[in-house]
Structure 1
């Protein structure tokens, strides 16, 4: 079969929204490659047929519309190439083997039946999204910190839930309830389906919203695998929405941005308890666990 390979080069902050659209357009899979200067390549494959032109136009329109959501997609370039490969889909799937994160969490694609024991936390998702399936460093850092933090009585807020992986992990690690909040409407049905597939939906409230704005609930734990430009203005809201001695976990922070995030946390009476990092493709990401 001949394939159309579409590569979208865009800003980190737009990557999740663009990945969701690529899946809505029926991509077989989406691959993320970090670039320098806070940009990413999102690579999607489609059958080479008469729908390619319409998909390209929808992508152009979508990238033009993103700034109205407060998301800057620059450089927002789209490249189309013809690929000859009858076994591309199988090769793509082989790039996503089951993986272990931390000491107990196992993440596996939905097409693989993974043997596991009762002490392990199994999360099954369709991989390929830019953020949220465990194959990106920011998600792994979030999960590592989450595994060492969640307690059975915890009421949790998952800001920018995306695929819902952190919400799923929190519930399976024992959290009492999670409010999963996502600003991108295209991610809502993906998260809802993943909650159902992993059996956690009864303990989750999924909603579309802008972070903690307009939220009246209080939490023992606030988590967010989001970008620094979203984290910084949210920190003061965390002060109002967290219980005394509550904990916040943020990932999606570039190493060069860590000092700024730490400064804003300390200005709002939060102290860093743990800092973890992971490098990939010459980009180093940081995760922070902090408490008042």
Structure 2
């Protein structure tokens, strides 16, 4: 088995990582602009190079063209992008060994299937191995969404996860008590990963994965959209229509400098809370307006 390796040399390293995760990279490595490997001394710490090489490793047969197009759109003209083919190595297992359990809020954990979790008896544990698709809890945009979910009362709620990636948010919502979750994504690989992960977390009976243009049963109690700023802006009316009056819409995957543009796209339909920030990433939570009641004479 061979591997597809794509290397992006850029100062927008987190955007490059987000693209690689989105397309299901089995491993992601960040190096400086020379040849020295950047070693993370603490779990989930981010290297701080002005310009770095971000390397994504993909299983044999993964089409390179969509990934290259997404990198070009996200990183701009100043990025240098290269592709290579590597012989088989157990990259995914090595990456898994460096992927510790993560905790969000008081009781939500995300951990690989093989990891021991030292958690309280009432803890909610989502088991997810890295490499299936975007979203294992390590990226700031994903952790911001998991932090928000961990603080909500989801019992009996109906949730839509728009751009589900690995299914981590949909699965977390179901494990936290949501009665029904609709998870959709433009990437077929992400939808397959969501289904597989839902089965492995014993919540497949509460997670539906219809085509993106065939979402039924709305409006929903919660709308989650952990994607990038440009699609968040373009989907403003679609996402707003999915939410019930007063329901929260959680928007993530945007950088702090993009907050104003994203909020402007929703200003006619949502009232926003204060943004939550992690590194250079932001999470926005907006609420659909509640229609005023009419007094009958």
Aligned to 2:6: 7
TM-score normalised to structure 2 length: 0.74
Q: Residue 36 of structure 1: CA displacement?
A: 9.6
Deviation of the 1:273 alpha carbon:
2.0
Rounded to whole Å, the distance in 2 between the matches of 1:251 and 1:261 is 10
Query: What is aligned with 2:110?
Result: 107
Question: How many Å separate the matches in 2 of 1:257 and 1:20?
Answer: 19
Q: CA deviation at 1:63?
A: 4.5
The CA RMSD measured in Å over matched residues stands at 3.7
Q: Is the 8 A contact 1:63 1:76 kept in 2?
A: no
User: 2:295 — aligned with what?
Assistant: none
Q: Does 1:41 align with 2:27?
A: no
Q: Residues 220 and 21 of structure 1: is their aligned pair in 2 closer, same or farther, counting only changes over 3 Å?
A: closer
Question: Taking structure 1 as reference, are residues 168 and 60 closer, same or farther at Cα in structure 2, changes over 3 Å only?
Answer: closer
Partners in 1 of 2:22 and 2:132 — Cα distance?
A: 7
- The alignment status of 1:133 with 2:130, answered yes or no, reads no
* Preserved contact between residue 221 and residue 247 of structure 2 (Cα < 8 Å): yes
Q: Report the equivalent of 2:163.
A: 160
How is 1:251-262 mapped onto 2 (pairs within 5 angstroms)?
Answer: 251-262=252-263
Cα distance 1:111–1:257, how it changes in 2: closer, same or farther (>3 A)? same
CA distance in 1, matches of 2:208, 2:86: 43
Q: Give me the whole-angstrom Cα distance separating, in 2, the residues matched to 1:124 and 1:133.
A: 9
- Flag the 1:264–1:19 CA change in 2: closer, same or farther, 3 A: closer
How many angstroms does 1:112 deviate by? 1.6
CA-to-partner distance for each residue in 1:224-259, whole Å, 9 max, x for gaps? 110111111222223322211111101101011001
Give TM-score, length-normalised by structure 1.
0.75
Q: Which has the higher strand share?
A: 1
Partner of 1:123: 126
After TM superposition, the structure 1 = structure 2 runs for residues 86-101 of structure 1, keeping only pairs within 5 Å, are: 91-101=94-104
Task: Please state how far the C-alpha of 1:153 moved relative to its aligned partner.
Answer: 2.8
Deviation at 1:208, TM superposition (A): 3.0
The whole-number CA distance in structure 1 between the counterparts of 2:188 and 2:236 is 23
Q: 1:289 aligns with which of 278, 281, 285?
A: 285
Indicate if the aligned counterparts of 2:255 and 2:282 stay in contact, CA closer than 8 A. yes
**In structure 2, what is the Cα distance between the partners aligned to 1:271 and 1:121?**
30
Rate the CA distance shift 1:40–1:233 in 2: closer, same or farther, 3 A.
farther
- Helix, strand or coil for the counterpart of 2:178? coil
Change beyond 3 A, Cα 1:233–1:117 = same
Deviations 1:180-204 (A, max 9, x none): 0111112121111100000111011
* Pair 1:199 & 2:202 matched: yes
Tell me what 1:278 maps to: 278
- Of 161, 166, 187, 1:184 maps to 187
